Amino acid sequence: AAVVDPYAAAPPPPSVSATPAVAPTVNVAECLKKLRAADNGLLYEDPYIQIGVKSQWQGNQGRVMFYLGNKHDADLNQLELTLSSTPGLNARLAPAPPSLGSKKQVQVLLELAAASGYAGSPVVTLRYDVAGIGSVHQNLTTPYGAHKFLTPWAAPDAGAFFAKWHETTAAAQSVDVVTVSAEISSGGLPAIERALTSVNAHVLPGLDPNVNNVVAASTVTYSNGAECFALARVESDANNRAVFRVTVAASDRGTMEGVQAALYSQILAP
């Protein structure tokens, strides 16, 4: 009989194959940036599934339709979408079907209601199983910050704007000197104006006494009854066209932080 060495290392446990990582086939951060400034577009895609979105906004209400498409030649099973909670934002996400057939698409509705100002945006967690691969799990930040609910405020004149400016800056404001992306820098003030408009900050030409600055103003009435104003002022640097002083103010801090995050996503380099 063979001699057993009591000091020999124990045999390794049976091998367990780890689930291979399924990587996105798109730049998810770039998709998020685009959707912060648009109602429709692509949120996520990998070799097996694609998620597009279309959204509509009215007052403090929003409707988002997720379009989940199975790119694979087999069913995707255990399909699930869940949504994180965001204080100040009421959300209801319809359930996804547990199985999505090959080359099929399904729609999943997300209903949103802004109860009050809020910072950040909800995160959608995607889960599904692929035969031969295993379980796939992705956390996807959505673009649905407080800025999505803003509508233009047409200040009648500079006096009215700056009266509201003093009121909102006393409530909540952020002031930063920032270096913008090369794309924004080369576009100058018109590029800043386009970025403001894209995140629903209504540009008010000619109201700032300095022609090298731009101001914007929007408003929303939340479902708690509070009317909130969100204002922005972007001041040029005469010595460096890539540098701007950005002030964002709002009637509450959550809205201010939400609008600031949306604007910075468009003007700062990743």
Q: Secondary structure of the chain in the HEC alphabet?
A: CCCCCCCCCCCCCCCCCCCCCCCCCCCHHHHHHHHHCCCEEEEEECCCEEEEEEEEEECCEEEEEEEEEECCCCCEEEEEEEECCECCEEEEECCCCCEECCCCEEEEEEEEEECCCCCCCCEEEEEEEECCCEEEEEEEECCCCHHHHCEECCCCCHHHHHHHHHHHHHHEEEEEEEECCHHHHHHHHHHHHHHHHHCCCCECCCCCCCCCEEEEEEEEECCCCCEEEEEEEEEECCCCCCEEEEEEEECCHHHHHHHHHHHHHHHCCC
- pLDDT for 136 equals 95
**pTM of the full predicted structure?**
0.89
- pLDDT for 200 equals 98
List, in sequence order, every residue forming a beta bridge with 219; answer none if it has no partner.
151, 229
For 60, half-sphere exposure in the C-beta direction (CA atoms, 13 angstrom radius) is: 21
Q: Is 195:181 a contact under the CB 8 Å cutoff? A: no
- pLDDT for 61 equals 98
Across the chain, which has 270 residues, the per-10-residue mean pLDDT values are 45 41 93 98 98 97 98 97 96 97 97 96 96 93 98 92 96 97 96 98 94 97 93 96 97 97 96
- pLDDT for 270 equals 86
Please give the angle made by the CA atoms of 191, 195 and 200, to the nearest 5 degrees: 145
